Amino acid sequence: MTPNEKRSAILIATGAVIIAGLCLFFPRMLAFVELAARELRYLWWLVLLVALAVWLIFFVGRKKE
């Protein structure tokens, strides 16, 4: 495992621990996330539009190196 792979694994694990801790300390946030996940069944097109916008902002118009 290269140093960059170790660093990304540590960052992902840290983020997961922070999110789990916040859910334990703030149960209303957990309820909000559950509600948002349920509503994604109806708003999946909004997620796709946001993903398209992020892709357009960061990758379109960039010169190949």
Domain boundaries, the chain: 3-59
DSSP state of 61: T
Q: What is the pLDDT of residue 26?
A: 86
What's the mean pLDDT in 1-9? 86
Q: Is the pLDDT of residue 1 over 80?
A: no
Better-predicted residue by pLDDT, 11 or 34: 11
Phi and psi, residue 57, nearest 5°: -65, -45
DSSP state of 42: T
pTM, rounded to two decimals: 0.45
**Could you report the per-residue pLDDT of 14-65, keeping only the tens digit for each?**
999 998 888 888 888 778 878 888 887 788 888 899 899 998 988 877 666 6
Give the closest residue to 19 by CA, choosing from 47, 58, 52, 11. Answer: 11
Q: Would you state the structure tokens that stand for residue 65, as one six-digit string?
A: 């190196």
